[in-house]
């Protein structure tokens, strides 16, 4: 696959997804031929890792904007001078507490137009631990039986932010944690997305459920939905469908949020971990040949993010 790249070096992390990229300086505006190859690598590998990038926040914002508009960031305070940026922070003093992103999920899947991509730049990293694991939802779909595929392609899933961000939820523990989390009534809203979606750039189908935000199947109760959702969650995150990224200061990792789930490991109590996060706005999830609420042809269309 490297033969198609002339300006960057693409080194796969595993045989299923992920690649490290060399030959791109993200602290500078990227020439179009270099950026086009990065876009191709993103389509090919879903997770890209760039090492030793001494980037400012403005550098990260410029790189993010090359992929599209910024996404909308609900329920978590962003940086005051940079409303597009979340400081993903766990202080050394926050021992025994949950970390932000510490469960398998797809970012903001409860939005009408969930992010196309998430981009994280590492600023302070513990001497061990804090890796991020990624799972391919392309392969999660591909490795299902034909019967299961056919059934899921006719179903919608209700997504909601209520589990982590709903009123009365104390999931994130102490009020004085480093990241400011907001629990609101708005988080209890539900929105339907297809259980299987098409990713426009690749044309491939990806399973689109996750254990944090996928509440139930449309027109079914949570109790009725639970056995199938639990099967899909376990199936989608099998180790053979994953890769793992070990961070270092200056590492930038980006992933296609439409066809990848991720899980931030929480195994570094007593150490500070800080990364800057931006997202790229995506399109409303769609499945080729099927409308969200029924049958019929449908073209991908952008929609305003819920929030």
Tell me which residues are annotated as active site: 105, 107, 262, 277
Cα–Cα distance measured from residue 247 to residue 258, given in angstroms and rounded to the nearest whole number = 22
From first CA to last CA, the distance across the chain in angstroms is 40
The pair phi, psi for residue 232, each rounded to 5°, is: -65, -40
Cα–Cα distance measured from residue 39 to residue 10, given in angstroms and rounded to the nearest whole number = 12
3-state secondary structure of 278: strand
Cα–Cα distance measured from residue 133 to residue 241, given in angstroms and rounded to the nearest whole number = 10
Cα–Cα distance measured from residue 283 to residue 301, given in angstroms and rounded to the nearest whole number = 6
Residue written as tokens 């992933």? Answer: 255
As given in the structure block, the two tokens for residue 46 are: 């879903």
Q: H helices within the chain, ranges in order?
A: 32-45, 57-65, 137-142, 146-152, 162-165, 222-236
Sheet of strand 86-90, all strands in order from the earlier edge strand to the far edge: 9-12, 19-22, 47-50, 252-256, 115-124, 273-281, 86-90
206 has which bridge partners? 197
| Number of C-beta neighbours around residue 59 at 10 A | 18
3-state secondary structure of 228: helix
In angstroms, what is the C-alpha Rg of the chain?
A: 19
């Amino acid at each position: 696959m490297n033969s198609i790249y002339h300006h960057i070096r693409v080194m796969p992390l595993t045989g299923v997804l992920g690649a490290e990229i060399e030959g791109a300086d993200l602290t500078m505006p990227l020439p179009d031929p270099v950026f086009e190859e990065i876009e191709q690598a993103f389509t090919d590998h879903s997770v890209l890792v760039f090492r030793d990038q001494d980037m400012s926040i403005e550098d990260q914002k410029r790189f993010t904007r090359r992929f599209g508009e910024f996404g909308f960031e609900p329920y978590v305070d962003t940086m005051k001078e940079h409303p597009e940026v979340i400081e993903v922070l766990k202080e050394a003093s926050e021992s025994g507490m949950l970390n932000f992103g510490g469960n398998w999920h797809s970012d903001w899947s409860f939005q009408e137009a969930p992010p196309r991509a998430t981009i994280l730049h590492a600023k302070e990293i513990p001497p061990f631990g804090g890796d991020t694991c990624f799972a391919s939802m392309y392969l999660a779909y591909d490795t299902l039986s034909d019967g299961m595929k056919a059934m899921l392609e006719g179903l919608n899933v209700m997504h909601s932010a209520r589990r982590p961000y709903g009123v009365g939820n104390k999931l994130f523990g102490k009020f004085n944690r480093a990241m400011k989390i907001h629990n609101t009534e708005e988080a209890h809203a539900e929105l339907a997305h297809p259980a299987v979606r098409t990713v426009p750039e690749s044309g491939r189908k990806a399973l689109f459920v996750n254990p944090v935000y996928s509440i139930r199947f449309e027109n079914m109760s949570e109790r009725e939905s639970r056995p199938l959702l639990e099967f899909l969650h376990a199936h989608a995150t099998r180790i053979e469908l994953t890769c793992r990224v070990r961070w270092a200061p200056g590492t930038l990792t980006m992933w296609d949020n439409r066809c990848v789930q991720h899980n931030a490991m929480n195994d570094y109590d007593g150490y500070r971990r800080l990364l800057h996060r931006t997202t790229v706005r995506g399109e409303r999830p769609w499945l080729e040949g099927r409308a969200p609420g029924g049958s019929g042809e449908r073209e991908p269309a952008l929609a305003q993010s819920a929030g």
